[in-house]
């Protein structure tokens, strides 16, 4: 079996499972946010559940429209807070103690290798970077799981992606996953588990792995996953709240497709409007003027991402025709960035720094685009109207390219700044 099949089999109490099997499995963690949890809570009450299955296995994070941007957002967030108090949930993260959910959970050690995690948010697939099976589900499935601790699944087929070769300068996990999505398309892994491996992955730090698995959904995948190794073990050793289980794919495991990529040929890559698969080398887009840069999100708002962006803008100014918004993904990342004086670098460059929030990524707040405006962002989606007006445009890139573009006033690379 593949690592995905082994995790699902273990949680379903079966010796083995095969792609296409319908199973009921126990979940280790159930997640929802201020957009999706209110629906789940409503359904939870409708089914007449008397209690949650485990008050320390349900995570509620107000992060999309928080800090509350308007009255409707305030009402949504209040539903989470009241439900958490009513059922004495141990994993409710209020503003000031929260972060963007998919950065927060790994940081806090709430997801460990071998877990089965569901979340009412499509980017729940992020945690596959830790060797867990994690996937986004609907709010009604979350409601049932909050009551029973179980969820149903169709076992997905697995695709294997092998990466080899040395990474070029300023190329990281974001470029690898954008290149991959550009190759297979936004439905190229539809309802499949994307398993990332190879010598390049083995040397890729955890923040790059989290970025890759985060965007598996942009290829239509059910999940993304990386077999745990020394990098995984070093990461979870410092923070795991529970004992991990390390699964590996069998050498004779079956894959519906196998793709290989020579990473030495992959440049800093940008996804152009209006699909994550519409990719081109950043260096080819030098004529694209921009109005806004966003550094942040559950894809690239980690400390290493901020360091990369700060390295590029240090001693420089944001182009006068551009606004640059920097959003650390969690409170801990914010504080560490402050200690390292990264925030000083951004502010001296005339960027603005926000408290942790999903904010502009989903067109929520803190950076909405007007008609005709263009943004380059380290976020994960660039669909029509994703960040604001339906006639605006979003380009996706890694933090270094986004930061260089902020200085240049157009899409560009750090090399153009002599770096």
Pair 288, 202 in one domain: no
The arithmetic mean of pLDDT across residues 163-190, rounded, is 97
Instruction: Pick the last residue of a domain from 219, 245, 261.
Output: 261
Burial of 198 (0-12, 13-18, 19+ CB in 10 A): middle
Pair 253, 313 in one domain: no
Indicate the DSSP class of residue 47.
T
Chain mean pLDDT for the chain = 97
Q: What angle do CA 287, 291, 292 make, to 5 degrees?
A: 115
The arithmetic mean of pLDDT across residues 191-218, rounded, is 98
The arithmetic mean of pLDDT across residues 352-380, rounded, is 97
Pair 229, 272 in one domain: no
pLDDT at 363: 95
Domain that holds residue 75: 3-261
Instruction: Pick the last residue of a domain from 237, 261, 285.
Output: 261
374: left (phi over 0), alpha (psi -120 to 50) or beta: beta
pLDDT at 388: 96
Confidence of residue 395 (pLDDT cuts 50, 70, 90): very high
Residue-wise pLDDT for 97-129, tens only, equals 999 999 999 999 999 999 999 999 999 999 999
Contacts of residue 50, Cβ cutoff 8 Å, sequence gap at least 6: none
How many structural domains are present in the chain? 2
Pair 146, 190 in one domain: yes
Whether 143 and 237 have beta carbons less than 8 Å apart is answered as no
pLDDT at 333: 98
CATH code of residue 334: 3.30.499.10
Q: Nearest-CA neighbor of 409 among 296, 285, 291, 273?
A: 291
**pTM as predicted:** 0.95
Peptide bond into 274 cis (omega under 30): yes
Query: String of b and e for 403-414 (b: at least 16 CB within 10 Å)?
Result: bbbbbbbbbbbb
pLDDT at 352: 98
Confidence of residue 134 (pLDDT cuts 50, 70, 90): very high
Pair 396, 335 in one domain: yes
CA 33 → CA 36, 39, 65, 265, 379, distances in Å? 5, 10, 10, 39, 18
Confidence of residue 12 (pLDDT cuts 50, 70, 90): very high
Pair 280, 251 in one domain: no
Pair 255, 273 in one domain: no
Q: Nearest-CA neighbor of 2 among 227, 202, 222?
A: 227
Whether 399 and 317 have beta carbons less than 8 Å apart is answered as no
Instruction: Pick the last residue of a domain from 230, 261, 292.
Output: 261
Pair 11, 145 in one domain: yes
Pair 227, 273 in one domain: no
Q: How far apart are CA 377 and CA 375, in angstroms?
A: 6
SS3 content of the chain, % helix, strand, coil (to 5): 35, 20, 45
The arithmetic mean of pLDDT across residues 300-320, rounded, is 98
Q: In the chain, what percentage of residues exceed pLDDT 70?
A: 100
Pair 321, 234 in one domain: no
Pair 210, 334 in one domain: no
Residue-wise pLDDT for 17-27, tens only, equals 999 999 999 99
Q: In the chain, what percentage of residues exceed pLDDT 90?
A: 99
Pair 172, 321 in one domain: no
Whether 208 and 173 have beta carbons less than 8 Å apart is answered as yes
């Amino acid at each position: 079996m593949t690592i995905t099949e082994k995790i699902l089999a273990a949680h379903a109490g079966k010796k083995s499972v095969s792609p296409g099997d319908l199973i009921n499995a126990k979940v280790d963690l159930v997640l929802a946010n201020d957009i999706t949890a209110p629906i789940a809570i409503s359904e939870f009450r409708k089914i007449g559940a008397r209690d949650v299955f485990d008050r320390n296995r349900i995570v509620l994070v107000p992060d999309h429209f928080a800090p509350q941007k308007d009255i409707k957002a305030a009402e949504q967030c209040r539903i989470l807070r009241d439900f958490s108090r009513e059922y004495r949930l141990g994993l409710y993260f209020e503003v000031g103690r929260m972060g963007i959910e998919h950065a927060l959970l790994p940081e806090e050690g709430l997801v460990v290798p071998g877990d089965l995690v569901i979340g009412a948010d499509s980017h729940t697939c992020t945690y596959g970077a830790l060797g867990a099976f994690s996937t986004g589900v609907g709010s009604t499935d979350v409601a049932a799981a909050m009551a029973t601790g179980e969820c149903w699944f169709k076992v997905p087929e697995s695709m294997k992606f092998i990466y080899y070769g040395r990474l070029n300068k300023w190329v990281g996990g974001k470029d690898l996953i954008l290149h991959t999505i550009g190759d297979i398309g936004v439905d190229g892994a539809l309802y499949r588990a994307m398993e990332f491996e190879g010598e390049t992955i083995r040397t890729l730090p955890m923040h790059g792995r989290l970025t890759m698995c985060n965007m598996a959904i942009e290829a239509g995948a059910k999940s993304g996953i990386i077999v745990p190794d020394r990098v995984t073990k070093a990461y979870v050793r410092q923070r795991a709240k529970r004992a991990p289980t390390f699964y590996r794919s069998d050498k004779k495991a079956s894959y519906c497709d196998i793709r290989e990529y020579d990473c030495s040929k992959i440049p800093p890559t940008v996804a152009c409007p209006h699909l994550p698969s519409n990719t081109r080398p950043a260096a080819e887009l030098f004529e694209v003027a921009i109005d806004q840069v966003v550094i942040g999100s559950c894809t690239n708002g980690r400390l290493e991402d901020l360091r990369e962006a700060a390295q590029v803008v240090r001693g420089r100014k944001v182009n006068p025709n551009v606004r640059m918004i920097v959003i650390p993904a969690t409170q801990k990342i914010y504080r560490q960035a402050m200690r390292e004086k990264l925030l000083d670098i951004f502010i001296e460059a005339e960027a603005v720094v926000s408290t942790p929030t999903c904010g502009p990524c989903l067109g929520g707040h803190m950076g909405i685009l007007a008609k005709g405006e263009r943004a380059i962002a380290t976020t994960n989606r660039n669909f029509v109207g994703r960040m604001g007006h339906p006639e605006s445009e979003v380009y996706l890139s890694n933090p270094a390219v986004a930061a260089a573009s902020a200085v240049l006033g157009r899409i560009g690379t750090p090399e153009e700044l002599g770096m």
